[in-house]
Amino acid sequence: MREMMDAVVLRGPRDLVVQSVPVPRAEPGQVLVPVAACGICGSDLRYYEGENPWAKHTLGYERPNPPNMVLGHEIGARHGGQDVAVLSFRGCGVCLDCRRGREQLCSRTAHLGHGAGWESEEFNPGGMAEKCLAWPQFLFPLQQGVSAAEGTFVDGLAVAVHAAGLAAIPTGGSFAVLGAGPIGLGILQIARALGAGRAWVVDVYETALSCARELGAHGVVSAQGVSGDEVAAEVLRETGGRGVDAVFESTGNPETQRAGLAMLARGGAMVLMAGVGEGLALSDAALAGERRITTSSNHRYPDFQTALELMSEGKVRVGEMITHRFPLRDAPRAFEVARNKAAHGAMKVILEP
């Protein structure tokens, strides 16, 4: 008889329950690890609403979600008597993208918490459970003093490392972060740790702006009740009219993306973290002077190690972002808090089985 465990199961759009499911069987090359903590990511909230962000941003098209998804890809676990951060996906290893070191673009990836790669299983493995599958080479020990809850941030910080590399900010160059959730605040710190200079952070949420100040933003701009044009004008004033060398946009809102282009300096890059906003129109003027736009999809394997090293060295702080912790059985309440962050003063919500 199969061993059972509790897991957070998304049965369909906005239909989230905690239920007993079979413990996954580890195949050769896999291990089963007890989960110590799992973060609720923006992707989890999009799955909750019925979207499939992995397919949209990696494959480029909408794909129905499998039924009975076990969510969770920001995972801190226990293995070999110590806390570890879990790299949550594995490419096929044989496709052209994988052979070129672009495993984050592999269309045959197995991705914990995203349903991808386990379509034949009744329940895919994910981090919002008592136990989860993992690959031993993708378990990264956390140094003493770094908790499993803090280890859940390494996944998002690796996304930030990858995005910063795409932007190619010159040493000492300036940048703006539009949308100051955990990924945006990770980009703020990662880009500066990798050599960027002054940073501006834009959000509508005062808790996020306060956190950005604490984590090293040189300026913050509240977009509450103002237009994108006004936001861009504020950043342009702050930069003497030149604009910033890079913009990281994580809202997916076309007005915000237009504002990002308006504040982008010649030769700069805008990295879209949540895809292209529906209806975004481009003009010659918007991209004149070798301005670039690119999307960012997940991260490469080495980015995970870089993110962990920067956090271990104290160059990136994450503890300030953790505002709420819930036991696994309270996952529906945790999702409510994460979905309505302004009402609850939430930044990062963590589940702890």
The strand pairing partners of 175, in sequence order, are: 199, 246
Helix 228-238 vs helix 254-262: crossing angle, to nearest 10:
30
Can you give the pLDDT at residue 62? Answer: 85
In which residue ranges of the chain is pLDDT below 50?
Answer: none
Can you give the pLDDT at residue 2? Answer: 86
The strand pairing partners of 325, in sequence order, are: 350
Torsion-angle region of residue 312: left (phi > 0), alpha (psi -120 to 50) or beta?
A: alpha
Can you give the pLDDT at residue 215? Answer: 96
- CA separation, residue 145 to residues 12, 52, 138, 153, 311 (Å): 39, 35, 21, 15, 11
Can you give the pLDDT at residue 57? Answer: 87
Contact predicate 283/261, CB 8 Å = no
155: its two tokens: 């996944």
Contact predicate 178/260, CB 8 Å = yes
Can you give the pLDDT at residue 40? Answer: 98
CA 59, 24, 121, 9 torsion-angle sign: negative
Torsion-angle region of residue 267: left (phi > 0), alpha (psi -120 to 50) or beta?
A: left
Its pTM stands at 0.96
Angstrom distance (rounded) from CA 313 to CA 297: 26
Can you give the pLDDT at residue 288? Answer: 95
Can you give the pLDDT at residue 294? Answer: 97
SS3 label, residue 220 = strand
Domains annotated on the chain, with CATH: 4-153+318-352 (3.90.180.10), 157-295 (3.40.50.720)
Can you give the pLDDT at residue 61? Answer: 86
